[in-house]
Amino acid sequence: MASAFFYQFAMSFSMTEYKLQYFNIMGRAEPARLIFAYAGVQYVDERIEKQAWPEIKKATPHGKLPVLYVDGKQLAQSRVIERYLGKVFGIAGENDWEIAKMDELVACVEDFLIEINPWFKEQDNAKKVEIFKQLCESTIIPFITEFEGLLAGSGTEFFVSDKISYADLAIFHIFWFMNSKILPGSLCKFPKLYEFVEKISAIDSIKSWINSRPKTEV
């Protein structure tokens, strides 16, 4: 009976058609891609080139990407997409408290990304270096330190419970990106976060996605 149940459970995903539409970068869509990878669910990873964006923009819900298509229906806003996929694939918490804590943590990640956005957008290299120096002291190091403490205080290997969640994957992405792209090796002084990133990186489906995904700078 159990095997029949899980077969039907898996088949329900395979019967749904998913498409994730975003630019050819990791950016705002990468946590959703990681969720698909972890769940082992097939989807169309549609990557939009910048020259095609003005025309495609007209067909998006709010003139922004990413957009998730579920059997042709559109869902926008990256964090909403992540929460939706987490719920559908069973990694969005088991009670109202866990759900709320996941929302809280993802909101903290969102606040962090907004704070460092000026660095991403700056085109002048000299100004970019100066902005980065300021952000390291005011934002980046405090953010890493805070999440090191949160993970240490969780009492588990993950942030909310003893099971991986969509929030863990969103948090994993930002710290993987930080350790690999922004401040290479920065997590060496933060053992809990370092172990967290290494553990998720080693999950077969996540490792496979990281090794096979298009190589982009951001």
Residue entry with tokens 């080693």: 202
Q: Please give the single-letter amino acid code of residue 180.
A: S
Which residue in 28, 33, 43, 83 is the catalytic one? 28
Q: Can you tell me the distance from the alpha carbon of 209 to that of 31, in angstroms, rounded to the nearest whole number?
A: 12
CB 179, CB 106: distance < 8 Å: no
Which residue in 18, 43, 84, 119 is the catalytic one? 119
Q: Report the half-sphere exposure of 215 (CA within 13 A, side-chain side).
A: 2
For the question of residue 28 being annotated catalytic, the response is yes
Give the chain's length.
Answer: 218
Q: Can you tell me the distance from the alpha carbon of 23 to that of 216, in angstroms, rounded to the nearest whole number?
A: 11
Which residue in 18, 22, 38, 166 is the catalytic one? 22
* Phi and psi, residue 109, nearest 5°: -60, -40
For the question of residue 119 being annotated catalytic, the response is yes
For the question of residue 22 being annotated catalytic, the response is yes
State whether the Cα torsion 7-206-173-46 is positive or negative. negative
CB 179, CB 186: distance < 8 Å: yes
Residue positions annotated with a catalytic role: 22, 28, 119
